[in-house]
Amino acid sequence: MLLCLLMVLFYVVNFNDDDRKRRMINRFRAVDIDLHFIDPVYETDPRIRETNLYKRTSAIMLQHIDSLHHFYYNTSAEHCVVCEDDIHISKSIADDMPNIINTFTEMNLDVLLLGYLWPTDIPDNFHFPVLTESTINNKYKITGFPDDLWGCQMYLVSRSHARYIMETFTIKFAVDNLEKIHYNPDWTITKYGRRGIITPMLAVEEGDDKSGHAGQTGFHKDCHDHNFNPDIHI
């Protein structure tokens, strides 16, 4: 099976949205990749029930943590990829992942964003330093990124960093740092360790936003419109 060959598992964070789940299964099935859907985390979860945390965001964060927990404690894979449930994926992701993982390992990275939110071309400046000496498969490069880049649409993580994330970003951490940092994947999983982003993206958000906030909705749409290519993405 492909995933055993790659030694990477793919997890999806989905909260009882059957339509999104079906689309994700179909897209990944088209490239012969199986998915693992982690159980939803509800706002009544005992881990967050009695805290002053923003329940919805904390529940999403805990689904990411639970994905990493399953990967670390229930598999022998060296890497995992965690995805949100509303992404288009590269048609060549299965062919490209072995070389991406090799480069990830050679660079000793902890986390690599394969899909994120950015509505323009990645600029060539000191905020986005190029980290790879040569391109991957003659089409990808890895760069650093500033803290104001958002998005956990898809990320590759090492086994050691998965353990670091689980042990560091606990509910106690969230409560103790309530005034300093949001208990949110965008502010934790993507902002610590030896990190990078890949360009072009392997995963592009569909462009919808459930928040109902006009600014957020427009931003997500702009990111989709700039990065989605029907010749490249499913």
Query: Which CATH number belongs to the domain containing residue 154 in this structure?
Result: 3.90.550.10
Ramachandran class of 151: left when φ > 0, alpha when ψ lies in -120 to 50, beta otherwise: left
Q: Provide the domain count of the chain.
A: 1
Whether residue 47 is contained in a domain is answered as yes
Whether residue 84 is contained in a domain is answered as yes
Whether residue 220 is contained in a domain is answered as yes
pLDDT value, residue 181: 86
Whether residue 233 is contained in a domain is answered as no
Whether residue 30 is contained in a domain is answered as yes
Look up the domain containing 201 and give its range.
2-227
**Average pLDDT for 97-123:** 96
* Integer angstrom CA distances of residue 166 from 61, 162, 169, 185, 207: 11, 6, 6, 12, 29
Alpha carbon dihedral 152, 156, 159, 160, in 10-degree steps, equals -70
Helices marked H in 54-205 — which ranges?
55-74, 93-106, 159-168, 171-176, 185-188
pLDDT value, residue 74: 96
| pLDDT per position as a tens digit, 133-142 | 888 888 999 9
Whether the per-residue pLDDT at 213 is higher than 70: the answer is: no
Whether residue 234 is contained in a domain is answered as no
Whether the per-residue pLDDT at 156 is higher than 60: the answer is: yes
Question: Minimal CA–CA distance to 30: which of 102, 117, 93?
Answer: 93
